[in-house]
Structure 1
Amino acid sequence: MNMTHQGFHVEHVLHELKHYLPAQAPLMDFVHHNTLHAFQHLPFHEALKTAQTTLGYQVYLSLEQFRDLYDTKRINDDILNNVIEKRKGVKKLSDWKYKLLQQKVSELPKPRIGALRGQWKQVHNIDLDSMVHPHLFRLISSYLDQGISIWRFPIEKHGFWEAVKELERNSWVSLFKGKRAKSLLQNENTTLEDLLTILVGSHPHLFEQYLFDQQFAHQGWSGMVSTVEDLPQTLLDRREISLLDLIKLECLLEIDAIDYLLSKEWIGIGNTLDDTLPSLHDPVEDSEIMEILSIFQEAFEWTYYDQVLAGLQQESNKSKNNAVKSFQGLFCIDDRECSFRRYLEAIDPKCDTYGTPGFFSVEFFYQPIGGKFYSKLCPAPVTPKYLIKEIGDEKKRETDPHFSKHSHNFYTGWIISQTLGFWSALKLFGNIFKPRMSPATASSLRHMDKFSKLQVDYDALFQQENGLQIGFKEDEMANRVEAMLKSIGLVKDFAPIVYAVGHGASSVNNPHYAAYDCGACSGRAGSVNARVVSQMANKPEVRAILRERGIDIPKETIFVGALHDTTRDEIVFYDDELKDENYKNLHAQHVQVFEKALDLNAKERSRRFESINTELSPREIHEKIRLRSVSLFEPRPELNHATNALCLVGRRELSKGVFLDRRSFLNSFDYRVDPEGNFLLNILKAAAPVCGGINLEYYFSRVDGEKLGAGTKLPHNVMGLFGVANGIDGDLRPGLPSQMTEVHDPIRLLMIVEHFPDVILQTIQKSPETYEWFINDWVILASINPETKEIQVFKNGQFYPYTPINRHLEHIQDIEELLESNQENFPVYLIQQD
């Protein structure tokens, strides 16, 4: 190793960078995750303090916002006192309350990121970002492009770095203004250490910090390159690129820019430093302002948690579990299904609804008719070994000459713009007054043809394709149906019809479309999974195996797949297996229940939308919701997981009499079916990262909409079909746009499990990666005793009894009247039982 580079190890620094950079996948696989995953090994508040100090993220609401929440009673005074006393002691209550509510507090600590590289601007008045970023971003965007650009990147062989070298050799115009950078590019012996020595000087201990400064000046692009390097399959048209390629090219562009601006010989910026520059790795000191914000945060959270826990203790649902069921519905745990299930149960008290992750325990790749690629329909961390193929005639897809590739050609594009362009203007004008479906609409119903067939059964003659088993064997089917039914506690008393209802979304103005679909299906609609599990459960051979395992599904019971479009509040049933007239009549009655529930659900959603009068009838509002979903001018077709705050793991009776305002993930679970917590472990292993990841991405996108969120979507420009940026030269935006988070209260997820505390503790300790979510308080965990309703809260590795502080909850009977009152989050209400 060269002596000037001692102490600097490229592989180590690249590993560290990749760990801290955003890990958001391209738009096709946009799945929610903990934005600050790199800090998850630390307790929550310590992690946030470290992220703010080192990387400059805003991690809490501002002090002014918290004080406004207190003034408007959204932070309860008793709860605030309780939090202060627990953390600071009773004797310091008045002192700390004064600090929180009145004292003028010092500003947040200045972030360390950017301090070293920022010396170019401070010492030499050189803005490297404006000089380098436009060229760098255009090169990367062109190389990664998935079909937007008219011309493909001219060189595709041997990866990005070799392509850039080839481009420089063969182009008439150089990428660089001077000769030095070009020479360094073409020199096979040039290393990253050599480039950093030029930029920083002979100070290898500063190289790592310089690279962090450099890459976090455009964390979105760097994070995307890192993700594509590690998971090249996230791009359908794969590209070979590495973070090292990006860094070396950027260093060359920086050297070239400085050469151009400083005509005389210059020295590395490290030679001009004094000893006061903070290092990224210096210990993070405590600060009073961060302590104040963390206390406010806990008080804000527990103001809501306390109401929920009080409501669950007082819930007095009197439904008879042994009554004959009209139908049973299996829904995704998604918080958007919370209100839909509530309306179904209110309209038809004889029905039962259950919640389970929306891939319904069947993991596979899916290939639609005429599809060139496989879509993964299961949670992102799972790698399926199975392939489900859609069978039928080639689909006749709706076409539009405005969306053909010929409109991108220089000559035909000009002709189309001069002819069809005028018609396009008229269509655009008409869409203002009468929005409708078009080829530009991303519809969940296009994921699978309602009338096609699926190759679910394993065929010994056609065993595999590209290393994947086509279809499932009977015992494999039984394993998955058993896992799903036992995990939700549905093992007896089956209704004549059981609906497996997946969910998806339709949108015409939303680049983050995948974030609206089912996260358990890797950001795709759950229709195929619902249909597949229904076909599996209907097989006599599968039922025979299940009967031996204690699940006796009567031959009179039939499973029917369905898809709920959460944007349009519409449902489609894959009811081709309903041959008997009696079942058709029953199904027709159930369809009416679903349609009425969808009308009411649309009305409940509408209270968040400024443009809809919530006092209209449910049917009138539903029609406006449908129009909203296909309007080019509507940036908020739906609010997705906005306001999510809870995850309930237990029987439906736990929360059936509590109004939770569409804020809860609902995962069905019956402790009596799983006394030892075996199925509970699988539930929590999925629910913690999935629901917790959704919650935290909304949290951080809300509190820091610029660095951790995507800002407003209005100026977004889709880059190469893989990301969004503001304008053509901006950084990629890794988080969520404000239109998805503006009504969200940034609080951590409270996960409530209905089981005995000792069983829950033993269960979460079996999985270190799951335990980390709870022991470090990224997700708040509480247990509710299924026999006594005693509540205990998990803290520091143990469960402690908890008694709600504010136990007075109002009763409501007319939810429709409540919805018309305001747009804000409602407190927890008890639903008046008839």
Structure 2
Amino acid sequence: MFFWRHNHPGYQGSTEIPVAMLDYLAVRLVLERLFAQKLCNQQWQIAPNLDLLRWYFRRRRSEFMVRYTLYNRRLPEYLTNRAQQLVSRIPIASEERPMWRQLADMIWTWRQSPTADQPEGYSVYRSAWPLFRLCQHLGICADELRSIECEPLASIFDTLAQLTPHKRGYIWLQAYERHYREQIFNAIVNNEGRGRWKTRENRPAAQIVWCMDDREEGIRRHLEAINPQIETLGAAAHYNVPHNWRGLDDSEISSLCPVVMVPTHEIRELPKVGEEKSARERSKQHKRRLWLKDLLFQETRRNLLGSTALMTLAAPGALAVLAAKVVAPLKLGQLSARLRERYETPVTTDLALTAAPDAPEGSIEQNRLGFSDIEQADRAEAFLQNLGLVDGFSRLPIIMGHGSSSENNPHRAAYDCGACSGRHSGPNARIQAAICNRPVVRTLLRERGINIPDDCWFIGAFHNTCDENIDWFDLDKVPESHRQELASIQQDLHQACHHSAHERCRKFFSAPKHPGLKQALTHIQGRANDFSQARPELGHATNACAFIGRRSITQGAFWDRRAFLISYDPTRDPDGRIIERLLLANGPVGAGISLEYYFSTVDNEQYGCGSKVTHNISGLFGVMEGASSDLRTGLPRQMIEIHEAMRLQVIVEQSTEMLTEIYLRQPPLQELVGKGWLLLSAKDPDSERIDVFYPDKGWVRWQGKLEPLPSVECSADWYNGQMDPLTPVLLKQPGATDHV
């Protein structure tokens, strides 16, 4: 039985549109044409012949859609008016059928728009697609969906309705992070007991301290495979010597410390005794070279007559240099470096490291030149304690700073050391090595329980993460008894740089697909010298997790250059003082790098800075796109194209009780961890147990599915031919039992 509404004087019923397929005028038209009967002007109920109605509207589908939509859906005013005009025409002439078809098409088009289908409730247009996607992700088939009763289905729709775009995005982020977390935790458990250097029962051949930087994970892994007797450690590369640095050729100081710190000490590089004359000559040569450079690049834009003559004279040379840059950038870069070294007189230097006994305390306004003996001992003690390196010293501990060099790159600072405010951390490594070699400092450290053997010699070095070159500091001071061992370590590092370059090539589209080690290193070095290269290196684009603990929990597994590796020995920290210091210092560094890449990836237009190709430097402090735009912040697309946006997963090798105490008394950690900027987990030092911290729940033991990992001979066996991020895998270790 169908019930219809008719606006005649005798109708006294409800004016609400009933649930019906046809309106009154449609029924009247059908009856007039099919039965030739007159209708009474009174309230009535009709039970028409449905077969006849179906027959009529199968031949007039457009008319049916217009009539049905007019009285059972909400239409915009312009469509409602047109529909009412057509419906009011009785009888309907056959020549008006195209008008019905046109209006039906307009209604159908409007219903596909976001503004259509406004009534509350569920409909095919608004509800079918979300339900379909949900069933896809949950693995629900059509038969199972049909069997769901109305009440559970309504609950599903209510849940979907509450999921705003922001909530849905957050859920997907959590799912993505959990997927990666399960892989990491599974690898940690599988690697339990396989990694070396849980203890130092045997004296290492060398100990190399690298920056915690995720880019250094690859070269550390390759170096340990080349020489298993080398122990690698990780720390923030300011190496606990924040200072203002003035190099031999520098006219101004540079702050080499985290951005949240303001140094109160200045360290200078001075010519060695007897090298003063050579230093003066070098200074003149250096200023003359800079003057010539300024003349070529600046004077041509200031003086009309002078610039014309200068450009005419320099044109042949500039053309030759431009052609060489395009055809052979690496060879031109190497030639330029050799010419610069020949032109400027080489000078052996020392550090003005130790403050005068009567020097006043340093301040922000008036820096103290050098550190006092006590300050040096304090900084060396904290540095070694953070590493867990308080005994078992090798004969050659090496402290490795890092930075990046590239051509025509306004974002070069973003590739440098984050712990040194986007600058090179080589001076920090050199300073800390010099401090640890001083007899007076070693005496003070011995009184504090850190006994550095007499045959132990610290060396500072610098790793260029872009071209894989390593520079060494103060080699003239290395004892003769250590030089043969140092030469062997340098050869191992040289091989590791080749392997690191080989692994990095897999991420570059323009790199050779299956390069040899030498070919890979040549390609990487060529990128660093190519002034047209928008991607000299990928920076931190693969960062995803951080490990704070002994090297044994990560050594022996492939982490795909995605992990910050921070050394810490929980057995040397009974009161939690060291881990608290590490969390407060390294937590903001890791979070800053991770979030910088996260926001630049999820919304590059808002939080990033667009394409590097169109950037122009503005005022020597920012970039703008083209010739007219706002100053852009964040990272360019060329640095985040392959980044998987997720929050940093931090795994700490320490008990949950101790971490809880630290968390409760440190507001900065409550801000970082409690508000979800970092994801914190705890690895028990004495077992495979892992606990995950939830700000609203506390610690929850991880009970994920444990799956065995494959084992490969070397890293290249796993990453060869692969460009996408790879899951962890075990690397075969000497004397280790692999889980297969």
User: Normalised by the size of structure 1, how large is the TM-score?
Assistant: 0.64
Q: Counterpart in 2 of 1:389?
A: 268
Q: Counterpart in 2 of 1:437?
A: 333
Offset from partner CA, 1:243-264 (integer Å, 9 cap, x none): xxxxxxxxxxxxxxxxxxxxxx
In 1, the alpha carbon distance for the partners of 2:379 and 2:386 equals 11
Q: Counterpart in 1 of 2:190?
A: 314
Which of the residues 513, 520, 523 maps onto 2:419?
520
Closer/same/farther in 2, CA of residues 830 and 638 from structure 1, 3 Å limit: same
**Does residue 290 in structure 1 map to residue 145 in structure 2?**
no
SS at match of 1:373: coil
What amino acid is the match of 1:406? E
Q: Counterpart in 2 of 1:127?
A: none
5+ residue gaps, structure 1 = 1-66, 82-90, 106-285
Closer/same/farther in 2, CA of residues 554 and 624 from structure 1, 3 Å limit: same
Which of the residues 718, 721, 728 maps onto 1:821?
721
Give matches, 1:210-359, under 5 Å: 288-315=164-191, 316-317=193-194, 319=196, 321-359=200-238
5+ residue gaps, structure 2 = 1-128, 141-149, 272-278, 735-740
In 2, the alpha carbon distance for the partners of 1:575 and 1:322 equals 30
What amino acid is the match of 1:822? Q
Q: Counterpart in 2 of 1:696?
A: 595
Which structure has the larger Rg?
Answer: 2
Q: Counterpart in 1 of 2:381?
A: 482
Give matches, 1:160-199, under 5 Å: none
Which of the residues 752, 764, 778 maps onto 2:677?
778
Offset from partner CA, 1:603-657 (integer Å, 9 cap, x none): 1111111111141211221011111101011100000100101110000001112
SS at match of 1:598: helix
What amino acid is the match of 2:183? Q
What amino acid is the match of 1:346? A
**Does residue 456 in structure 1 map to residue 353 in structure 2?**
yes
Closer/same/farther in 2, CA of residues 514 and 543 from structure 1, 3 Å limit: same
Deviation for aligned residue 1:680: 0.8
Q: Which moved more, 1:740-749 or 1:359-368?
A: 359-368
Q: Counterpart in 2 of 1:685?
A: 584
Contact kept in structure 2, 1:700 and 1:708, CA below 8 Å? yes
What amino acid is the match of 1:724? V
Offset from partner CA, 1:35-87 (integer Å, 9 cap, x none): xxxxxxxxxxxxxxxxxxxxxxxxxxxxxxxx9xxx9xxxx979x99xxxxxx
Which of the residues 795, 804, 813 maps onto 2:704?
804
Q: Counterpart in 2 of 1:232?
A: none
Moved over 6 A (4+): 91-100, 438-441
In 1, the alpha carbon distance for the partners of 2:476 and 2:238 equals 21
**Does residue 408 in structure 1 map to residue 284 in structure 2?**
no
Offset from partner CA, 1:164-222 (integer Å, 9 cap, x none): xxxxxxxxxxxxxxxxxxxxxxxxxxxxxxxxxxxxxxxxxxxxxxxxxxxxxxxxxxx
SS at match of 1:502: strand
SS at match of 2:594: helix
In 1, the alpha carbon distance for the partners of 2:239 and 2:615 equals 35
Deviation for aligned residue 1:586: 0.8
In 2, the alpha carbon distance for the partners of 1:343 and 1:335 equals 14
In 1, the alpha carbon distance for the partners of 2:152 and 2:334 equals 61
Contact kept in structure 2, 1:649 and 1:669, CA below 8 Å? yes
What amino acid is the match of 2:217? C
Q: Which moved more, 1:561-570 or 1:294-303?
A: 294-303
Give matches, 1:90-109, under 5 Å: none
Deviation for aligned residue 1:440: 10
SS at match of 1:775: coil
Contact kept in structure 1, 2:196 and 2:555, CA below 8 Å? no
Deviation for aligned residue 1:317: 1.4
User: Normalised by the size of structure 2, how large is the TM-score?
Assistant: 0.72
Offset from partner CA, 1:389-409 (integer Å, 9 cap, x none): 111224443555464432232
Give matches, 1:589-738, under 5 Å: 589-738=488-637
Deviation for aligned residue 1:95: 9.1
Q: Which moved more, 1:675-684 or 1:490-499?
A: 675-684
In 2, the alpha carbon distance for the partners of 1:294 and 1:511 equals 33
Contact kept in structure 2, 1:356 and 1:488, CA below 8 Å? yes
Offset from partner CA, 1:668-715 (integer Å, 9 cap, x none): 000011122111111111222111111011011011111110111110
Deviation for aligned residue 1:816: 1.4
Deviation for aligned residue 1:819: 2.4
Closer/same/farther in 2, CA of residues 813 and 93 from structure 1, 3 Å limit: farther
In 2, the alpha carbon distance for the partners of 1:794 and 1:827 equals 23
Closer/same/farther in 2, CA of residues 760 and 93 from structure 1, 3 Å limit: farther
Offset from partner CA, 1:219-277 (integer Å, 9 cap, x none): xxxxxxxxxxxxxxxxxxxxxxxxxxxxxxxxxxxxxxxxxxxxxxxxxxxxxxxxxxx
Contact kept in structure 1, 2:429 and 2:460, CA below 8 Å? yes
In 2, the alpha carbon distance for the partners of 1:93 and 1:700 equals 38
Closer/same/farther in 2, CA of residues 800 and 95 from structure 1, 3 Å limit: farther
In 1, the alpha carbon distance for the partners of 2:402 and 2:462 equals 5
SS at match of 2:397: strand
Contact kept in structure 1, 2:681 and 2:691, CA below 8 Å? yes
In 2, the alpha carbon distance for the partners of 1:467 and 1:92 equals 74
Q: Counterpart in 1 of 2:79?
A: none
Contact kept in structure 2, 1:614 and 1:820, CA below 8 Å? no
Offset from partner CA, 1:86-111 (integer Å, 9 cap, x none): xxxxx9999999999xx9x9xxxxxx
Q: Counterpart in 1 of 2:67?
A: none
Closer/same/farther in 2, CA of residues 364 and 439 from structure 1, 3 Å limit: farther
What amino acid is the match of 1:778? W
Contact kept in structure 2, 1:710 and 1:734, CA below 8 Å? yes
Deviation for aligned residue 1:318: 5.2
Contact kept in structure 1, 2:357 and 2:372, CA below 8 Å? no
In 1, the alpha carbon distance for the partners of 2:228 and 2:400 equals 19
Closer/same/farther in 2, CA of residues 576 and 440 from structure 1, 3 Å limit: closer
In 2, the alpha carbon distance for the partners of 1:308 and 1:318 equals 15
In 1, the alpha carbon distance for the partners of 2:627 and 2:468 equals 35
Deviation for aligned residue 1:827: 1.2
Deviation for aligned residue 1:382: 1.0
Contact kept in structure 1, 2:399 and 2:458, CA below 8 Å? yes
**Does residue 833 in structure 1 map to residue 730 in structure 2?**
no
In 1, the alpha carbon distance for the partners of 2:151 and 2:406 equals 53
SS at match of 1:672: helix
Q: Counterpart in 1 of 2:647?
A: 748
What amino acid is the match of 1:804? G
Give matches, 1:2-81, under 5 Å: none
Closer/same/farther in 2, CA of residues 422 and 96 from structure 1, 3 Å limit: farther
What amino acid is the match of 1:369? L
In 2, the alpha carbon distance for the partners of 1:348 and 1:822 equals 26
SS at match of 2:612: coil
Contact kept in structure 2, 1:603 and 1:614, CA below 8 Å? no
SS at match of 2:645: coil
SS at match of 1:691: helix
SS at match of 1:725: strand
